Structures are given as C-alpha cells and as structure tokens.
Amino acid sequence: MRDWTSITNAIALALSGERQRGREALLACWEATAQGDHAQRCVLAHYLADQRSALDEEVAWDEVAMSEHAYVVDEDLVPIGVTSAAALAPSLHLNLGDGYLRQGRLDDARAQLDAGMQAQSTLSIDGYGAHIRSGLERLRQRVEEVQLP
C-alpha cells in the first residue's frame, strides 16, 4: 500500500466514534500493507491499539507501532503532514508506557516514560504538542504514585 488516502479515511472513521467500523477499516488497511511499509504500519498500529478493548491487545499493537517506527524516516510521513518521524516518538512512548503501567509493568512503563520525556523536544509548539506533553506529565505522575511492593 503506498497511498495514504484509505488510511487517513480509516483513521477519521475510527476517531469519529464509529469504533467497530473504524477498527475494521484500519485492519483492512493493515492487511493491504507490505512488510516494508513501515510508516503506514506504524501509524495504523498506533491507531489500532486505541481501538482495542483488551489491554494485552492494545499493548501488543503499541509494541508493533514502536517496532515499525524504528524504520520510519521523515519523508515517509510527509504525505500525511508529519514533517518529522522523530516527532511521532513521544506519542508512541506515551501510549506504550500507559499500557505497560496498566499491565503492572512498572519498569517498562518508566523506560517508555523516560524515552518519551527525552523525545518531547521534537514536538511542535501547538495543540498536538501540548496534548502529548500533558499526557507525558500525567503518566509521570501516575508512575510516581505507584507504590513498590
């Protein structure tokens, strides 16, 4: 899959509240990708994670998104208006860290939080950047609140 149109349409559907139809559309796009379509697979996995009701499935998709991100370069995301592959990392770390924390994997959650905090300088100074920074701060607070046994 090289064209982003069906992916952006599937994302819009998922974000519109049409959870089941959005998930089906995202999965159809996923199945149309090739193993080398790292940017598309990263973005799809990122959104597929949010469409899962089972925590383990959510985290598994977040892990896929993070794995695919390792192969994404800036020009791969230009078609969807993202000018820096690095700027996607804080959101990926936030989601994965949140999932790990909810699974009780505190060390893994801290590692993702640390990576997200280190990468937040790549975020733009706009609503999206503020949203991710705020999410990282909330995750930091939640991690600090966890009492070790």
84-149: CATH topology is Methane Monooxygenase Hydroxylase; Chain G, domain 1 (1.20.58)
Per-residue pLDDT tens over the stretch 60-75? 999 999 999 999 999 9
Cα R_g (the chain), whole angstroms: 15
Domain assignments of the chain as residue spans, ordered by start = 84-149
User: What does the pLDDT average to over 8-28?
Assistant: 93
Per-residue pLDDT tens over the stretch 106-127? 999 999 999 999 999 998 888 8
**Paired tokens of 119:** 């990468």
| pLDDT band per the 50, 70, 90 thresholds, residue 146 | confident
User: What is the maximum alpha-carbon separation in the chain?
Assistant: 49
Long-range contacts of 120-125 (CB under 8 A, 24+ apart): 120/90, 122/84, 122/86, 122/87, 122/89, 122/90, 123/87, 123/90, 124/87
Which residue type occupies 17?
A: G
Q: For residues 91 and 50, is the Cβ–Cβ distance under 8 A?
A: no
Which residue type occupies 100?
A: Y
Whole-model pTM: value is: 0.92
CA distances from residue 89 to 62, 115, 119 in whole angstroms, order as listed: 11, 9, 7
Q: How many CB atoms lie within 10 A of CB 44?
A: 27
Per-residue pLDDT tens over the stretch 93-105? 999 999 999 999 9
